[in-house]
Chain A
Amino acid sequence: AQSVTQLDSQVPVFEEAPVELRCNYSSSVSVYLFWYVQYPNQGLQLLLKYLSGSTLVKGINGFEAEFNKSQTSFHLRKPSVHISDTAEYFCAVIPFGRTALIFGKGTTLSVSS
C-alpha cells in the first residue's frame, strides 16, 4: 500500500522568510509526485509536479520542490514567503499504473507580518 506523510501539520513563518514543507512517501512501486495548495473555502490547485527527469521542479508562485528517491521525499520550498501564501498545502502521489491521487494530511502555512 502507498502512503504520504506530511511531517508538520502547522508551519508559522514571518513574511519574507524562507519556508520548507516536508513530505515523505512510502510505495512499493515508483510514483508521480504532486503538491497542491488550498486557499480558504476553495478547491485544490496544482502547485507543481514531478514525473521524471530533473529532480528539482519549479512551480507557480515561486515554489519549488526536490525529489529525493533514496529518502523517498519531496519537500516544498520557497525562498521568501508572502502573506498571500497563507493556505493549506497537500503533498500527493500517484503510483505507476494507478489513476487516483493519494494525499497526505496537509500542512497549514501561516504567514504573518
Chain B
Amino acid sequence: DAGVIQSPRHEVTEMGQEVTLRCKPISGHNSLFWYRQTMMRGLELLIYFNNNVPIDDSGMPEDRFSAKMPNASFSTLKIQPSEPRDSAVYFCASRSVRNTEAFFGQGTRLTVV
C-alpha cells in the first residue's frame, strides 16, 4: 500500500484566496483525521470522520474551514478565504477499525502571504 497520500505537498497562496487540500487514506481504513501543526500550538485535531461521516469538528478554527469526505477514498479540507495565520503544515491520517494507531501522510505545507 502506498500509505496516506496528500496533495499538494506545498502550497503558497495569497490572502483571500481559496485553498483546497486533498487526502487519499489507506484502502480499508474507516477513520480519517485532519491535523494542523504549528510551532505555537503543536499538533491540533481539526476534524475526523468515521465511515465518511464527520464525527467531531470541534477543532475547526472557524467557519472559513470546511472538510468533506464524499467517499471512502478521498477527503478535502478547504479554507475560504485564507489568511496568513492559516500558514501551517496540515496532516491527514487514517486508521482501520482493527488497529489503534493512525498512519499519517507527508503533510501539506501551506503558506498564506
Q: Counting CB contacts under 8 A, is A101 at the interface?
A: yes
CB distance from B48 to the nearest CB of A (A): 5
Complex Cα gap A42–B106 (Å): 5
Residues of B within 8 Å of A89, CB to CB, are none
Query: B101's contact among A34, A43, A106, by CB below 8 Å, is which?
Result: A34
Residues of chain B touching chain A, judged by Cβ–Cβ distance below 8 Å, are 4, 31, 33, 35, 42-43, 45, 48, 50, 55-56, 91, 93, 95, 100-107
Q: How far is the CB of B17 from chain A (nearest CB, A)?
A: 24
- Number of A residues near B (Cβ < 8 Å) is 21
Please give 12 more A-B residue pairs, beta carbons under 8 A apart, in addition to A45-B104, A101-B102, A103-B43: A34-B100, A34-B101, A43-B4, A43-B91, A44-B104, A46-B103, A49-B100, A49-B101, A99-B31, A101-B33, A101-B93, A104-B42
Q: In the complex the two chains form, what is the Cα distance from A103 to B33 in whole Å?
A: 13
| A32 interfacial by beta-carbon distance below 8 Å | yes
Name A34-51 residues within 8 Å CB distance of B: 34, 36, 41-46, 49, 51
Would A43 and B45 count as touching, CB distance under 8 A? no
Docked Cα-Cα span, A102 to B102, in Å, equals: 12
Contact of A99 among B50, B103, B107 (CB under 8 A): B50
The prevalent SS among residues of B at the interface is strand
- Can you report 13 residue pairs joining A to B where beta carbons are below 8 Å apart? A34-B101, A43-B91, A43-B105, A43-B106, A44-B91, A46-B103, A100-B48, A101-B33, A101-B45, A101-B102, A103-B43, A105-B42, A106-B43
Partner of B100, one of A32, A41, A106: A32
Query: A residues within 8 A CB of B43?
Result: 90, 103, 106
Residue of A nearest to B10 (CB): A41
Residues from chain A with a CB closer than 8 A to the CB of B56 are 100
For the complex, what is the distance from the CA of A44 to the CA of B46, rounded to whole Å? 16
**Which residues of chain A in 86-113 are interfacial with respect to chain B, using CB atoms and an 8 Å cutoff?**
90, 94, 99-106
Please name all residues of chain B whose beta carbon is closer than 8 Å to the beta carbon of A104 when the two chains form the complex. 42
- Give Cα A90–Cα B106 distance, bound, in whole angstroms: 16
